Structure 1
Amino acid sequence: MLDPFWLVVAVIALALIFDFTNGWHDTANAIATVVGTRTLKPYTAILMAAGLNLVGAFFSTAVAKAIGKDIVNPKAVTLVVLVAALAAVIIWNVITVLMGLPTSSSHALIGSLVGAAVASAGFDILQSKGLITILIGLLISPVLGAIVAFIFMKIIRVLFANQPASRVKRVFKPLQIFSSGFMAFSHGAADAQKAMGIMALALLVGGYQTELNIPTWVKISAALAMAFGTAIGGWKVIQTIGSRLSRLETPHGFAAETAAATILTTVAGMGIPVSTTHTITGSIIGTGIAERIRSVRWTVAKKIVYAWVLTLPGTAIMGYVLYTVLSFLEH
């Protein structure tokens, strides 16, 4: 059996790589609309998002603890399971970002962890109550994003119904910069914690902790890895969300980002790990529907939904296979 120390090191390294790919993959969540409306130049938007991702990562540890104990039984999981799960989610993130598909890193992490854990110890290792709560949150978040953004957009239309387009754009340009920053903060608050949870779980399983806590160095390293990934930017995903999904103007961007960020920050404080990708995409669709249903490019939306549906089973299978291949490390 490989020395547990090196397995803990491998899990932490892979968790930080996952966090980097999460930031790289999910840059679009924070800045796609502000780039799509040409309110900010792409590199300016990316630097703003990276900085606020870093700040947001210190908002709470509730999601990290949920990832660490509510998906699989911490007493039954092994370090090799975590290695296999992280390898699977990293491969998935790289493939989908190169294809320009805004899939969920949250779904991918949960699917790969479930697949690897089941390969190791069967279905009894799963924490069914926590897993059901998390899955409900993941499924509801895009619908909730669409509803809230739809309402925001209708209110904006009523308030600015008789205003010229030039004045509306002038009013919402700074507001959209604020909402994009809020979205970047909420992305850091929601998603950086997922890597923190896996790292803390590795420390617990490896015997370096007696209970699931999130050390300061784990918070800092996860925050920096996500911020660096965000600074790299996933350009194909930015293009898909920011310009191909729906025609966006500054009020739409403000409504979508404010709706999504409010939901994400709220659930992060509650410890429910939802998908930033699904939430912002649902919010953008909601603003489009508020104008007219035909303004949403449903062919693009359909491809995104297909990718969402495939993520959980796809990553679960990858996690299962990778654990099977790597299981010799436990013997």
Structure 2
Amino acid sequence: MTLLIIIIVLALIFDYINGFHDAANSIATIVATKVLTPFQAVLWAAFFNFLAYFISKYWIGEFKIGNTIAKTVSEDFITLEVILAGLIAAITWNLLTWKLGIPSSSSHTLIGGFMGAALAHAFTIPGADINTVVNYAKVIPIILFIFMAPLLGMVVAYFITILILNICRKANPSKADKWFRRLQLVSSALFSLGHGANDAQKVMGIIGAAVIYYQVNIKHEVAYIAAENKFAYFVDHWSWVPLVSFVMIGLGTMSGGWKIVKTMGSKITKVNSLEGVAAETAGAITLYTTEHFGIPVSTTHTITGSIIGVGVTKRVSAVRWGVTISLLWAWILTIPVSAILAAIIYYVVSIF
């Protein structure tokens, strides 16, 4: 039971880190265009991060992404030690990329850590079939959306920007800017709802995997063993976990990740209020679409692609492609680096 409690605490710490690591996703453009001060912006984003809990629970009625995360690894290779190692690796990579100001994906570092630790565990089991460790039906769409989410965000943002420019081509520039500055509050809120719903559920999935393992393999809880959908049973009987997960990501967002805000808000391309509305709206549409299908995507990748999309509408050279390529390398490396780190940590944990 002690190890389970440690895992839950670490998962919630990761959730908090995820919040301040990814705060830039929701607030970078409204800070860059000076619609809100940094402090006002993080309060705004944090409120809508938390509000996403009520939408997921009472409107959508389920936590699809949490269920997907819990099933990325075969339950035959999940142990508390595996989950612990995956979490430590994810926290380490998140803190490192935050320190360096790199907007990497908290989602993918968590998934990479989980898979890496599970594979390390499988190698310690004589005769284990390594090919069955990872649930590829769940993982392949997640990996594909490392590239698809920013691409989708970029395309949607491009067309939204073109549409707005055509609709407003005869508008008074000063008056239009005032309206778009107000609309940025709406678009930022929409993106923050998607961020909260998407990222808080990933932590729920990890906690769910730990609780289910404990109840089935250690406590031998009959109801959990018999449950057709163990994740849904976990949510019903650990109902405080979703609420606390959304609270923690909101608190993390309130802490802000200012180095990453600078990268997102100005280093990729400079944005005005109109472009901020287009980027955040495109990001929100992408998040809601992938959420509907239960595909965990990176809010970081999504909003980065959207910002690139609005930059391209001005001219291709308006995007600082050197910065973008550096970010792309960070995204590609996140899963394998997290997996290797988690495998090493698993072997260390196993000694004790």
TM-score with structure 2 setting the length? 0.89
SS in 2 for 1:57: helix
Partner of residue 112, structure 1: 113
Partner of residue 63, structure 1: 65
Alignment-mate amino acid for residue 5 of structure 2: V
Mean Cα displacement is larger for which, 215-224 or 196-205? 215-224
Partner of residue 167, structure 2: 159
Does 2:211 align with 1:203?
yes
Partner of residue 296, structure 1: 319
Q: CA deviation at 1:137?
A: 2.8
What is the CA–CA distance in structure 2 between the aligned matches of 1:17 and 1:247, rounded to whole Å? 33
Partner of residue 231, structure 1: 254
Partner of residue 6, structure 2: 10
Partner of residue 43, structure 1: 39
Partner of residue 270, structure 1: 293
Partner of residue 243, structure 1: 266
Cα-to-partner distance string for 1:280-299 (whole Å, 9 max, x where unaligned): 00000000001111111112
Question: Unaligned stretches of 5+ in structure 1?
Answer: none
Q: How many residues align?
A: 324
Mean Cα displacement is larger for which, 208-217 or 89-98? 208-217
Partner of residue 90, structure 2: 89
Alignment-mate amino acid for residue 70 of structure 2: G
Alignment-mate amino acid for residue 233 of structure 1: G
SS in 2 for 1:192: helix
Percent identity for Structure 1 against Structure 2: 40
1:148 to 156, 162, 168: 156
Cα-to-partner distance string for 1:98-150 (whole Å, 9 max, x where unaligned): 11110001111111111111000143211122111222233211100000000
What is the CA–CA distance in structure 1 between the aligned matches of 2:333 and 2:134, rounded to whole Å? 21
What is the CA–CA distance in structure 2 between the aligned matches of 1:164 and 1:308, rounded to whole Å? 41
Partner of residue 258, structure 1: 281
Mean Cα displacement is larger for which, 122-131 or 319-328? 122-131
Aligned-pair Cα RMSD in Å = 1.2
What is the CA–CA distance in structure 2 between the aligned matches of 1:90 and 1:285, rounded to whole Å? 28
Give runs of aligned pairs for residues 311-322 of structure 1, distance below 5 A: 311-322=334-345
- Contact 2:287–2:299 (CA<8 Å) still a contact in 1? yes
Alignment-mate amino acid for residue 210 of structure 2: A
What is the CA–CA distance in structure 2 between the aligned matches of 1:149 and 1:199, rounded to whole Å? 35
What is the CA–CA distance in structure 1 between the aligned matches of 2:260 and 2:320, rounded to whole Å? 15
Partner of residue 136, structure 2: 128
Cα-to-partner distance string for 1:238-257 (whole Å, 9 max, x where unaligned): 11001111110001000000
Partner of residue 176, structure 1: 184
Cα-to-partner distance string for 1:27-49 (whole Å, 9 max, x where unaligned): 00111111111111111110011
Question: Unaligned stretches of 5+ in structure 2?
Answer: 57-61, 124-129, 216-220
Mean Cα displacement is larger for which, 185-194 or 135-144? 135-144
What is the CA–CA distance in structure 2 between the aligned matches of 1:77 and 1:277, rounded to whole Å? 28
What is the CA–CA distance in structure 2 between the aligned matches of 1:266 and 1:128, rounded to whole Å? 21
